[in-house]
Amino acid sequence: MKKKVLSSSFALVLILSSATAYAHPGRTDSNGGHYCRTNCAKWGLQDGEYHYHNGGGSSSRSSSSSSSSKSTPKKSAAKPKAAKPAYKESGLRVYVNGNKLSFSSEPLIYQNTNLVPLREIAEGLGATLNYDNNSGTIGVTKGNSKMTLTIGSKIVFYNGSSETVSAAPKVIKGVTYVPAQVFARGLGAGIELDNINNSLKITF
């Protein structure tokens, strides 16, 4: 009987000593383990290493690898939508003294402003054009009227006097466009915009 009691006590001591070898202060999570934060070297662990108590599992390396394999894959970021151009073809018909002009590049509408190809409208109005590519300055003359415009600028000079207009000349797909009404008025022409028929009548 004493032998049985002694052997049972000895077995209990072995179990407790084994548990002590793997256990140390600190709460465990639902998986039966936790991260080591204090006195890690004492227990044969590294700071921050995830481990199980009482031999209940593997180290942080296996735990982290298994948890990463189960993690939900990240959704790829949605691609930004390409911005639509602020301009579009207007279908505007331009008449000079009753004659319709033909454009190889379509007139455009931009911020409620009609834009027409510079060189073609200048030729249609019988104006002389001087274009400085370096400065983006456009000089236009017809008779006693002289006008100066600059690419990207809303300031226009009429015979030396400046005026701010609704839209600046701009280069679109390699073609220089100017505000149709501003351009015609700067050369001393009369203008009449017919919104119903989408036409611009220019007269000298």
Q: What is the C-alpha radius of gyration for the chain, rounded to an integer number of angstroms?
A: 42
Asked if 148 and 157 count as a contact pair (C-beta separation under 8 A), the reply is yes
Is residue 96 located within the same domain as residue 36? Answer: no
Is residue 155 located within the same domain as residue 184? Answer: yes
Q: One digit per residue, pLDDT tens: the chain, 204 residues?
A: 545 544 445 444 444 444 444 445 566 776 667 667 676 666 666 776 766 665 554 444 444 444 444 555 566 666 677 666 788 999 999 999 999 999 999 999 988 899 999 999 999 999 999 999 899 999 999 999 999 999 999 999 999 999 999 899 999 999 999 999 999 999 999 999 999 999 999 999
pLDDT reported for residue 167:
92
Is residue 45 located within the same domain as residue 102? Answer: no
* Structural domain count, the chain: 2
pLDDT reported for residue 33:
74
CATH number of the structural domain spanning residue 113: 3.30.457.10
Is residue 56 located within the same domain as residue 94? Answer: no
Within a domain: residue 17? no
Within a domain: residue 107? yes
Is residue 166 located within the same domain as residue 124? Answer: yes
* Geometric angle at alpha carbon 81, from 75 and 87, rounded to 5°: 175
Is residue 60 located within the same domain as residue 123? Answer: no
pLDDT reported for residue 9:
52
Terminal Cα distance for the chain, rounded: 131
Within a domain: residue 5? no
Is residue 189 located within the same domain as residue 109? Answer: yes
pTM over 0.75: no
Is residue 60 located within the same domain as residue 133? Answer: no
Q: Which two tokens stand for residue 162?
A: 């400046």
Within a domain: residue 20? no
Is residue 122 located within the same domain as residue 182? Answer: yes
Asked if 161 and 168 count as a contact pair (C-beta separation under 8 A), the reply is no
Name the residue range of residue 126's domain: 87-203
Is residue 46 located within the same domain as residue 147? Answer: no
- Number of helical H runs and strand E runs in the chain: 4, 16
- Cα–Cα distance between 177 and 114 in angstroms, integer? 9
Within a domain: residue 128? yes
Is residue 98 located within the same domain as residue 182? Answer: yes
Q: Which two tokens stand for residue 6?
A: 């002694």
Within a domain: residue 11? no
Within a domain: residue 74? no
Within a domain: residue 160? yes
Is residue 182 located within the same domain as residue 116? Answer: yes
